[in-house]
Amino acid sequence: MIGAHGERVAAAFLRRQGYRVLTRNYLTLRGEIDLVCRCDNLLVFVEVRTRAPDGMLRPAETIDAAKEEALRFAARHYLELLGRDDISYRFDVVEIILSSGEIPVCTLLTDLFA
């Protein structure tokens, strides 16, 4: 599946950027977080968007208000499970552009929405 492949590529990319991947595919009743990571002193909720190079929009531009709310819900749920409200966090997006036979192009967009 293209999504699972993109998440593996994104996880490896983020590790090279200094992120530590804590959880993959954190699922709640109202949303999913592709990757939960640690970067410096921040918890980072990462949405991975994977596309072919012929798309009209950048992958991050496909995140609509409903997806943003689902991500926020899942993040709140994750934080509640940790039982701590003093953790600093942000939302990042990794855009993956796939093309046959070539290395995927990865772009990290940090702090996408507050």
β-pair partners for 23: 36
pTM of the model: 0.93
CATH class of 2-109: alpha beta
Neighbour-count burial of 29, counting CB atoms closer than 10 A to its CB (0-12 exposed, 13-18 middle, 19+ buried)? exposed
Q: Where are the domains of the chain?
A: 2-109
Q: How many CB atoms lie within 10 A of CB 67?
A: 14
pLDDT of residue 49: 94
Distance CA 81, CA 99 (A): 38
- 2 pLDDT exceeds 80? no
Q: How many CB atoms lie within 10 A of CB 24?
A: 17
The pLDDT confidence band at residue 101, using thresholds 50, 70 and 90, is confident
pLDDT tens per residue across span 57-92 = 888 888 999 999 999 999 999 999 999 878 999 999
pLDDT of residue 33: 96
pLDDT of residue 56: 78
pLDDT tens per residue across span 20-66 = 999 999 999 988 999 999 999 999 999 999 988 777 788 888 899 99
- 114 pLDDT exceeds 70? no
User: Token pair for residue 102?
Assistant: 């070539």
